[in-house]
Amino acid sequence: MAPLQTLTGKPMASSSSPAGGQIAVESQSARSLFDPILNFLVRRRILLSAILFVGLVAKDVAYGFKPLDWVNIRNPYGVLGVCLVAAGLALRSWAAGILHKNSRLTTVGPYSLIRNPLYAGSFLMMLGFCLLLNNLWDISLILVPVVVLYVVKVRQEETLLAKLFPSDWPGYSQRTPRFIPRLARTDVRADWRLSQWMRSREYQALGATLVALAALKLWQTYG
């Protein structure tokens, strides 16, 4: 096929020039080197989050910081922190009790409000615990890297869901926000089952939360 002509009659430079191709190859090579590292971090996001949180607590103990007393209703920040933790845990439990992972696309209950209620609940819990630590630096130190890892994980899972449910996912993803619900009336009724909640192992999140709150109280009282 003859090359495209410019207005001057001279051949137009091809978009597949050697320089452009080299840049594309280098960019793809950089991504291929970085992807295994990112995938490794994403797969171990829960462990990394726990290690980071424990490290922040150890730092605060060493520098003499104390957490907020979350049972003191006169402290508005402590009340806000524990309310965020409780709200996040409740959202996760609600979602876990109706989720049928990979067998069918769940679009009811909290999934009719946002596409990722489990992760949204985790974000609320992390924010609440950071607030209870009573150190503003901790919020940025833990939330920024953890949120990045979870956002990457969300994108990976949504790509998988689009492949598993090619007929249902496009419409669902268009009408349902990823994290922040729209201000519109939505039917959130769903068949919540304790057996499904147990099958999702959400009791682990409940147990870990209770242990963490008890540890913060002991630290605040005797630390």
**pLDDT per residue over 123-143, tens digit each?**
899 889 888 988 777 777 777
State if pTM tops 0.85. Answer: no
**Residues of 112-123 as b/e, b for ≥16 C-beta within 10 angstroms?**
bbbbbbbbbbbb
195-201 contacts at long range (C-beta below 8 A, 24 or more positions apart)? 196/96, 196/97, 196/98, 196/99, 196/100, 197/93, 197/96, 197/97, 200/96, 200/97, 200/99, 200/101
At 176-212, the pLDDT tens digits run 999 999 888 888 999 999 999 999 999 999 999 999 9
Query: Residue ranges of the chain with pLDDT lower than 70?
Result: 1-34
pLDDT attached to residue 31:
55
